[in-house]
Amino acid sequence: MAEKIAADARRRGQTVRLVHLEDLSFDANLNQGYRARMEWEPDLKAFADDLIWCDRLVIVHPLWWGSAPAQLKGLFDRVLLPGFGFQYIEGKPLPKPLLAGRKARIVITSDTPTIFLKWIYGNGWVKLLRRQILGFCGFKDLKVKYFAPVRGAKPEALAKMVEAAPAILG
């Protein structure tokens, strides 16, 4: 899906930097929390540069246990730190977002039918992205597209999902 979205964006004349999380090499565990700064591995530095560069971030991922895969959550933990994603301000209850002016698009594949994700489970992961992760750092206009259920879907149905994914670009 990510490849299809990137190709569609390029056809529209947009410049794309495509990053595959599985190709990144970094420690996903923020061992010391905010007490001690862990230096960024080269792949994290490159990803941070991509975040600064972008005006629209598109993330494509499966939903695991109602959330992101651990490696994606670890990427957020390691990169969206005070001084990069946001900045604490003395005397203010909320920090200043440092990645303001960017939009976010999220494509989620899931085995759980979308109606359950939204109405039964409450769409928790998307709320976190919108309010406490990407939105907290300044990303606005977060739009989400679900493709579900993928488990047991026939190849033709999966192919249709891939074809439909670029619609997230608007």
| Full residue range of the structural domain in which residue 49 is found | 2-26+38-169
Q: E strands, the chain, where? A: 56-62, 86-87, 96-97, 103-109, 140-147
Report how far residue 72's alpha carbon sits from residue 63's, in angstroms, rounded to the nearest whole number. 11
**Domain tally, the chain:** 1
Could you report the per-residue pLDDT of 37-48, keeping only the tens digit for each?
899 999 999 999
Report how far residue 96's alpha carbon sits from residue 83's, in angstroms, rounded to the nearest whole number. 10
Domain assignment present for residue 135? The answer is yes
| CATH code of the domain covering residue 63 | 3.40.50.360
Could you report the per-residue pLDDT of 53-100, keeping only the tens digit for each?
999 999 999 999 999 999 999 999 999 999 999 999 999 999 999 999
| pTM of the entire predicted model | 0.94
Domain assignment present for residue 31? The answer is no
